[in-house]
Structure 1
């Protein structure tokens, strides 16, 4: 870069930085560019050699120079967070695998609603295995060690799985609404349920394509000698926090995967609640009708719990992102990494809570869960019994061999004594008489 241009940029950057810290106000990219008052195209071309993405990102880097790595967790804090996430991931993976097995292995469980529950468990399982674990490592160490390719996969799978989960919950609410509020309407068949599942994944993949198209990694070096690699979305107009496309995409994603679905589910379950608890049918109910209504109430309670916990788990995470976009300087505070990890843990814990709800509130699922747990306990007992039996057998063999060895030694000694006595007796008997 030309020395005069570099000096000019440096001086103007210093002035802007001082103004920023005095006013405590983050100026937008266009205003900062105008403040630079640089009209020569070659100036920006040379400046982009320093920060190659765009002038807005260059300004952002200028305003917030990187003298050291972001806040780093102590090893005690890392150990605590690792234990929390480890337990959560283990419960989520095991629980959702059991739900998938229950639906696929038992013909009586292959209903339309359970097929949708199966899809929900698949989405949660993929989120736990392909996204949550890698994101946790990234956030804990402030470094992305998995390469550019998996950066794209991670960003894509994170959005695709959460989209599939919430769209599945919406499909379940529609299915229950038709069954309870409009019972004379033609019910959805299992074939239609498969079509719903396919449509859900097509929509989820489409909405998550930017994660595949615009993901990138970048290595950053700091004045204290440390470095790190970041994984982020690099849009045509730059990246967070200067990219308008990034902001619009995240707002649209929030509305389509949280705002509208939650509104639809609240309306559907409100009508279901009114139908089951608020209306009184004329005439007497048969025992079969009473049992049917009771069963429907249990199912609705279970799904209300699932939807409520989904809303509670994801709300802080979404609100944090919206607030951080409008207050980007908050991310430099020392407490924010812990706050964000807490919100992320709460959002991801939704993947482990659903199987627990099924076990707690559904008799059939509880029966099969107990069957799996009893089988696992029996297998552990069987393995332990076999090991104990082998240990006892080996110990007995060892004792027996020791006894045989001692007996053989005693027998050998006795035999030697007898032979010695026999020789002496023979010598005495064979000696000449005087």
Structure 2
């Protein structure tokens, strides 16, 4: 499951095109003919039978300029908000010693992953979606698809680490809290395991040049797996299913269980005797943190659900690639999944007073500079 699961694959069409160079249409009576109408994506292919009659099947993804501009604004705004918000979160925690708690260090790790996907992946994949031409080279084809999986794995594993840390802290309050060394070791494990899971994309993604009717060529970034090209490979399908289980189903089950138990403990239990003001403040503080993380996990589940549903449908019903408005439908699904990276800073600002004060300081600093430059 690369985060740009191309509607451009069109199952047979793209895979046929990737074999175009291996066939000699002049000498092979069963050669596949393939063409792409530039500058917009009109894919067509057919079988050149012995009668020299070619039947073309076309699938057109041609957005008017005004709709391209709207989508560019929507994606561009999301990237700016996600990048800016997450960088501010990182600055707030690292610049303030009191903010360097175990939970906040994990939040910094989450912000690093979200910043990576918004800056190193979304912009390039969105450009690819609009013109179906990969103009960033072979190396970045590999890097972009590698980062897409790396960032989502790091994000999900970090959310799981936070839920387990909160679970131990609240359910077993007498146990020693995790220290800096344990926190750093978990962060390192998160990135090492994410790199391992993402490595197939680095190894197997490549680029190919497709011929265009006017004599030019269009470059595609696709997965050339050992047992077949993207859309035909059983290894790719297995890798995608494993990713869906590891980055969506299992994490949601684990976090659902831990936060349900935590919620019953913090909101459902009744202590014997009167609580001291310090105990009541401690419970309120824990409730605020848990409430914030429950919102973060819920937003994550909502943002990524349509993407995983689309993946299931595209494998069960490949014909959906030919539905009307499927390109914009996929753009909306992709935007929703990627927009998850911009919501977390908003949630921290909304539900955590210290983060809120940090954001106020940053915005007041910039507003002060603007007033100074433009009196």
Q: TM-score, normalised by structure 1?
A: 0.74
1:157 to 147, 150, 168: 147
Give RMSD over aligned pairs.
2.4
Matched, 1:87 2:77: yes
Evaluate the alpha carbon distance shift between residue 240 and residue 326 of structure 1 in structure 2; reply closer, same or farther with a 3 A threshold.
farther
The answer to which structure has the higher helix fraction is 1
The 4+ residue runs of structure 1 with deviation greater than 6 A are 58-61, 63-66
CA contact (8 A) 2:46 2:57 kept: no
How far did residue 179 of structure 1 move? 1.1
2:326 to 326, 330, 336: 336
Q: Per-residue displacement from partner, 1:10-47 (whole Å, max 9, x unpaired)? A: xxxxxxxxxxxxxxxx99xxxxxxxxxxxxxxxxx999
Q: Per-residue displacement from partner, 1:276-311 (whole Å, max 9, x unpaired)? A: 011111111001111110111111110000000001
Matched, 1:379 2:369: yes
1:200 to 184, 190, 198: 190
**Aligned equivalents of 2:342, 2:249: Cα separation in 1:** 22
Q: What SS does the aligned partner of 1:283 have?
A: coil
Q: Per-residue displacement from partner, 1:226-265 (whole Å, max 9, x unpaired)? A: 7422111110111232111111110111001111011000
CA contact (8 A) 2:303 2:336 kept: yes
How far did residue 363 of structure 1 move? 0.5
Q: Whose relative contact order is higher, 1 or 2, with alpha carbons under 8 Å and at least 6 apart?
A: 2
1:369 to 351, 359, 366: 359
What is the count of residue pairs matched by the alignment?
A: 337
Match for residue 161 of structure 2? Answer: 171
Q: What SS does the aligned partner of 1:73 have?
A: coil
Return 5+ residue gaps in structure 1 as ranges: 1-25, 28-44, 52-57, 386-434
CA contact (8 A) 1:124 1:165 kept: yes
1:100 to 87, 90, 107: 90
Q: What SS does the aligned partner of 2:209 have?
A: strand
Evaluate the alpha carbon distance shift between residue 183 and residue 280 of structure 1 in structure 2; reply closer, same or farther with a 3 A threshold.
same
Match for residue 410 of structure 1? Answer: none
1:221 to 202, 207, 211: 211
Return 5+ residue gaps in structure 2 as ranges: 1-10, 13-18, 26-31, 35-44, 48-53
**Aligned equivalents of 2:149, 2:68: Cα separation in 1:** 26
Match for residue 179 of structure 2? Answer: 189
**Aligned equivalents of 2:159, 2:315: Cα separation in 1:** 28
CA contact (8 A) 2:20 2:33 kept: no
Matched, 1:316 2:316: no
Q: TM-score, normalised by structure 2?
A: 0.85
2:23 to 25, 33, 49: 49
Matched, 1:273 2:247: no
Q: What SS does the aligned partner of 1:349 have?
A: helix
Match for residue 116 of structure 1? Answer: 106
1:284 to 260, 271, 274: 274
**Aligned equivalents of 2:92, 2:328: Cα separation in 1:** 37
2:121 to 101, 126, 131: 131
Evaluate the alpha carbon distance shift between residue 343 and residue 65 of structure 1 in structure 2; reply closer, same or farther with a 3 A threshold.
farther
**Aligned equivalents of 2:363, 2:75: Cα separation in 1:** 23
Q: What SS does the aligned partner of 1:145 have?
A: coil
How far did residue 69 of structure 1 move? 6.9
Evaluate the alpha carbon distance shift between residue 47 and residue 133 of structure 1 in structure 2; reply closer, same or farther with a 3 A threshold.
closer
Evaluate the alpha carbon distance shift between residue 46 and residue 191 of structure 1 in structure 2; reply closer, same or farther with a 3 A threshold.
closer
**Aligned equivalents of 1:345, 1:220: Cα separation in 2:** 27
Question: Radius of gyration: which is bigger?
Answer: 1
